[in-house]
Structure formats: structure tokens, C-alpha cells
Amino acid sequence: MKSILGLTAISVMLAAPAMAQEYQPLEEDPETLVFGIISTESTQNLRRQWEPFLDDMEEQLDMEVESFFASDYAGIIEAMRFGQVHVAWYGNASAIEAVDRSNAEIFARQVKEDGTEGYYSHILTHASNDEWETLEDMFELCGEGLDFGIGDPNSTSGFLVPTYYVFAQNEVSPEECFETVRNANHETNLMAVANEQVDFAANNSEQVARSQANAPEAAENVKVIWTSPLIPSDPITYRADLSADLKNSIQAFFLSYGRLGPDAEEEREVLANMTDGLGPYRASTNAQLYPIRELDLYSQILKLENDERMDAAERQERVEELEAELERIRILASAGS
């Protein structure tokens, strides 16, 4: 199993003209299957977690499998859009972009080792900040020159969830509250808090657990001051225009891994070393994105309603469009439940 490092320059070059284009159709199944891995932490750490799994995938599918890494989530979405990535792990927010723009289709979802089907977004600060214990404490510091670390713009737990629950619902603009707001992956943001390079940062329960296991000294230097509602487990996708035979083989591998066969026990050990500890995957579909789509639309509506710089009539028209889309998503979600 080989790996490909998606260079930032390539991502930028693809992204600029691609915004108005459709995805690039696949003319046939690839000879080498490329698996995209979102940048939740360093490439070195991600490679160490995923390569044993992808090696087993290569053996079972009897075809070469390569890993693909990019510096941000958009790099994976764009690579899938242009047929350079065929299977990918996403968060729910980035999966929305991939489904809508890159012809991605969800076929499985991650499950924790203990059977939990979800995780949490957090706001972190340094453990020594005794007077900073709640969001209210954080908001009282608005305008005092503090710094905030937020996630990749396509991250569910690092960006979308805190943007809605922490800032939009409290009618606080992070850019107006903090001196600087910088985007980084979960690992980088946690380490920035631990090293007092930022005062607060968005993060998630998976990264906190991984840091407690792999970087305990850093983990001891951070504390959680806010926890979100449960976020649905991360989806696994493939390009919808892969052949039915190949898609069936890929899904069969994921759903049987760690569950069936003589190597199930060893496979469970591989899963246990991924993210903060996984168990066998479960089947899923694009319908798992409905709650996150609703959250995204709510966030957009709240942002518009609080935007006093926008023309009132234009703002109202846009809000009504988003509310209509929100109602459509609710109907679809209800029909599928």
C-alpha cells in the first residue's frame, strides 16, 4: 500500500476554476484505489493509524490501495471531485461538500470501540486558567486581546458545531470577540492551548482522548469548558460512479472487518488504534447527513439575521430561501426515519 501526499499547490490550482464546474466523471474503475484521509492531525500520525487497515483492504480487494493526504479537508474533497480519490473518510460537514460537489456516496460509518455512534465538540483552555470555567467566562473576555483556535472550515466538530452552538446561538462574532482567530487541525489546536499559544480553541472528544493516550503531558495542560450535543459518527464514502461490483466489494470489506473471519481479533486491534478507538463499521447512507445539514442551515440563517450590514430586503429573501431548504431537509429526514 502506497501513499500520496496531496500538495497545497495542487489543491489551490484545482479549487479556483473548479467552483463553477461539475465533478469529473469516472470513465471506468481505477486500477489503483486511492483512499482520502482528512487532516484531523499530523500526516505522520494519520498514516500510522490507517496504513495497517488499508494494507488489509488492499489484500482483501486484490488491488492496489494508496492513501491520499492533503493539508486541509478541501484538498480531499477536490481530489475526489476530480477522480483522484475514490474512497474517503470525512467528518459529516465535509461529507456534505463531498456528496454535493464530488459525487460522493456514504456507505459506512465509524463506531467507537464501546459501541458509541458519535463524539463531541469541545472548547478548550489551559488548565491553569482557574477563572475560566464556562462559555460565559470566555465571553466576558471579549475585546481583551485574546486568541482563539478554530478548526478547518469543513470540520464538523472543529468549526460547524462551535460556530452554531457557541457563537451563533449566543450572538457573538468570534472575529469581533478575539484578537486573532486561526484555523488549524484538532491536534494543532490542542497543542496550541497546551503550550499557551492560544487562549481558547475548538476541539473534540476524539482528539482529547488520543492526546491523553499519546501526549499525556500536553493533555494535562488543557481543560474542557464546553461540550456539545452528540455528533453523529464520521462517514466513509466512495465515488458513486464506481462500478456496482467494486462498491459492493468495498462495502463488504468495511462491514466484515473486525467482525467476520479468522483474522477478526487482529483486525479489531487495528481498529482500536484508529482515532480514539474504533469498533467494526456499520452500514450507512447519505441520510445520516440530514441533522448536520439542518445545523448548517440554522447557522447560516442566524448569521444572516444578525448581519446588519446587508440590505434588509435582500437579507429577508435569502433567509426565506434557507428556511425553505431547511423545511425540505426536515421532510426528507422525517420520511427516512
Q: What's the pLDDT score for residue 1?
A: 63
**Can you give the pLDDT at residue 12?**
34
Q: Please report where in the chains the cell 450590514 appears, as a residue.
A: 309
State residue 305's pLDDT score: 81
5-28 mean pLDDT: 55
**Angle (nearest 5°) at CA 166 between 120 and 197:** 80
Inter-residue contact 283 to 251 (CB < 8 Å): yes
pLDDT score recorded for residue 6 = 53
Q: At 115, give phi and psi (nearest 5°).
A: 95, -5
In order of 34, 58, 103, 226, the CA distances from 83 in angstroms are 9, 19, 10, 39
Q: What is the Cα–Cα distance from 25 to 82, expressed in whole angstroms? A: 8
CA distances from 121 to 36, 45, 150, 172, 302 (A): 23, 21, 11, 18, 20
Q: What is the pLDDT of residues 181-200, one digit of tens each?
A: 999 999 999 999 999 999 99
Report whether pLDDT(139) > 80. yes
Domain boundaries, the chain: 2-116+233-286, 118-231, 291-336
In the predicted model, what is the mean pLDDT of residues 22-33?
Answer: 94
Choose between 48 and 2: higher pLDDT.
48
Mean pLDDT check: name the lowest of 67-81, 217-231, 301-315: 301-315
Q: So what's the pLDDT on residue 241?
A: 97
The answer to whether domain 2-116+233-286 and domain 118-231 are alike in fold is yes
pLDDT at 258 (0 to 100): 97
Strands 104-109 and 235-239, by their bridges, are antiparallel
- Residue range 259-264: average pLDDT? 94
2-116+233-286 architecture in CATH?
A: 3-Layer(aba) Sandwich (3.40)
pLDDT-derived band at 171 (thresholds 50, 70, 90) equals confident
Q: What's the whole-number mean pLDDT along residues 237-265?
A: 97
- Average of per-residue pLDDT values in the chain: 91
Q: What is the arithmetic mean of pLDDT over 294-310?
A: 84
Look up residue 62 and give its three cell numbers: 486484490
3 state SS of 118: strand
Domain 118-231 has CATH 3.40.190.10: yes
* CA–CA separation, 39 and 89 (whole Å): 10
Alpha helices in 63-151 (DSSP H): 73-81, 92-101, 135-139
In order of 156, 235, 250, 257, 285, the CA distances from 294 in angstroms are 13, 17, 29, 32, 17
- pLDDT at res. 19: 41
- The pLDDT confidence band at residue 337, using thresholds 50, 70 and 90, is low
